[in-house]
Chain A
Amino acid sequence: MSQITDLSFSELKKSINDRVLSSVEITSAFLDRIESLNPRLNAFITITRDVAMQSAKDADTAINKGTATPYTGLPIAHKDLFCVDGTLTTCGSKILSNFIAPYDAHVVGQCKNVGLVSLGKLNMDEFAMGSSNENSYYGPVYNPWDTTRVPGGSSGGSAAAVAAQLTPLATATDTGGSIRQPAAFTGTSGLKPTYGRVSRFGMIAYASSLDQGGLIAHTAEDIAHGLGFIAGHDPRDSTSADQVVPDYTQTLNEPLKGKVIGIPKQFFDDRLDSAMHQAMDDVLDVLKSLGATTTEVSLDHVAEAIPAYYVIAPAEASSNLSRFDGVRFGHRADKPTDLIDLYERSRGEGFGNEVKRRILIGTYALSEGYYDAYYKKAQQIRRLIRDDFNRALGSCDLLFGPTTPSTAFVLGEKTADPVAMYLEDIYTVATNMAGLPGGSFQAPLIDGLPTGYQLTGRAFSESMILNAAHQVQMVTDWHKLRPEGL
């Protein structure tokens, strides 16, 4: 038998349901691996060994008493913007470097309700702003496939932790690609659900109208399990959708025959790297071999998604981050001389450069005289983008394309130029603008580094995305590849 930490979430579930493994065995195996590898990967900000071991013991007791759920005792780790009651919750920022969350995020509560064991809190770009995880106050996360490279961001800790088998399942969030891009860079599966599918309550906000919680794991099947318990209506989040949560595992094995895959021509123009193009063609061949057909579609305004995103997201962020003022929680500057000094120094010291840039851009875009030219314009473009997607998805079931323009880049390569970093998300941002579900799944390696393909569906069609990805995973091995030499 392989090592415990080699197993996927679904495999671990089977082992624990069959009483082959106990929660204590599983939990301690992952904690041991975290403690041995985290110094090199920096995927975790906080490791909650004691709490985890206690939950694991409680889980084993529940399993023995027959009061367990099918998921009781399985491990998970949370991106450090999900509040966990009594646990340090930093959002990757100095300004929250002393913040002990006084409550559980909805997602965290749902995980606790099904009996999951939380291993700790995962590193991330500060306030989820970034595409490389180099913007964390706690230092960068290193890509397990090549530690000179970034794991992507902002959920870099989540992706690296799954890829390095430090946890079989991780929560993550995606505002412009922050689940899908790191999943692609680390050879993992990641799903950003439909906006409103997963409650944002307790998820520290970056851009409220774009943020969506989701998962990173090894397989689509793992995500199907996880989404089942984190999704659903939460009356505490006004933007949470009151829609039935289907059993995502029930539809994984449906045949793809008759499914139409839309190929947005803008994603496959001559700017696409030829190796990446080849990797995508390999995946498409598999989809076709499974009975799907393809059709070309057009997303006319997808090029403007990045410019519009960099107005809407910073504008919302500039307001969302005003609560970090050194008054009620978080970092407070030493010996403030007056109120303005308290605000300006607490925030000046507490936020990193990228966060400052986005607060300033957002404040500027909303300020008097600029609102129409920036914020309103961006929201108009947002409608055009959403309409493009709805039109395209009227003639097909899923949209297909690369998740990223290239494989993981080298640490420091793009830090000097924020715009170059922003363009990392050209294939992912539009999905958030349209509020649609999008998943990134493993495609062939290029030069030994992972790549990902992206599937985008109609609102609340997560089951179809997971079904298609699972079917591909049933006949390919890309998702089974693991980084070597750790």
Chain B
Amino acid sequence: MSLTSDEVKRVAKLARLGLTEAETTEILTHLNSIIGLVDQMQQIDTDGVAPLAHPLELRQTLRTDAVAETNQRDKFQANAPHVDAGLYLVPRVVE
């Protein structure tokens, strides 16, 4: 399988990754060589093999329902690029 430039643009859009035209061209070559590598998987017969998500196949433990956090807004928002009145600001979202 190989990718086209349009597919790269579609995927970049899904990933919200801004690419210049030049970047798209360069990345396309690289992505196709990576896909060539990845496609070696198709040689293996995996019929009936259950996918493995975690190597140790452990079970999830659940937390007791209790409030354990206190307000640390100022500390956390010290890293924020744009806040006002305790809110994170982004360009106007139109729904």
Report A's interface with B, CB cutoff 8 A: 98-100, 102, 194-196, 209, 235, 238-239, 241-242, 301, 303-304, 306-308, 310-311, 318, 322, 325-330, 332, 336-345, 347-349, 351, 353, 356-357, 359-361, 363-365, 367, 373-374, 376-384, 386, 417-419, 422, 433-436, 459
Which residue on B lies nearest to A335, using beta carbons?
B91
Option from A242, A329, A361, A363 in Cβ contact (under 8 Å) with B80? A329
Report B's interface with A, CB cutoff 8 A: 1, 3, 7-8, 11-12, 14-20, 23, 27, 30-31, 33-44, 46, 49-56, 58, 60-61, 63, 72, 75-76, 78-82, 88, 90-93
Contact present for A418 and B38 (CB under 8 Å): no
Given contacts A307-B39, A332-B81, contact A380 B50 (CB under 8 A): yes
Which residue on B lies nearest to A341, using beta carbons?
B91
Option from B1, B56, B91 in Cβ contact (under 8 Å) with A435? B56
Chain B contacts of A338 at CB under 8 A? 91-92
Given contacts A100-B78, A360-B31, A384-B49, contact A367 B11 (CB under 8 A): yes
A381 to B18, CA, bound (A): 33
Chain B contacts of A348 at CB under 8 A? 17-20
Given contacts A332-B82, A364-B11, contact A357 B91 (CB under 8 A): no
Contact present for B18 and A359 (CB under 8 Å): no
Option from A343, A361, A383 in Cβ contact (under 8 Å) with B34? A361
What's the nearest-Cβ distance from chain A to residue B31, in Å? 6
A102 to B30, CA, bound (A): 37
Contact present for B37 and A383 (CB under 8 Å): no
Which residue on A lies nearest to B12, using beta carbons?
A360
Contact present for B53 and A379 (CB under 8 Å): yes
Contact present for B54 and A435 (CB under 8 Å): yes
Chain A contacts of B17 at CB under 8 A? 344, 347-348, 351, 356, 359-360
Given contacts A209-B53, A336-B91, contact A419 B40 (CB under 8 A): no
Contact present for A347 and B18 (CB under 8 Å): yes
Q: List 25 A-B contacts (CB under 8 A).
A: A102-B72, A102-B78, A196-B58, A209-B53, A209-B54, A310-B37, A311-B38, A322-B15, A332-B81, A338-B91, A341-B91, A342-B90, A353-B27, A357-B31, A361-B38, A364-B31, A378-B41, A382-B55, A383-B50, A384-B46, A384-B49, A419-B33, A419-B37, A422-B37, A435-B56
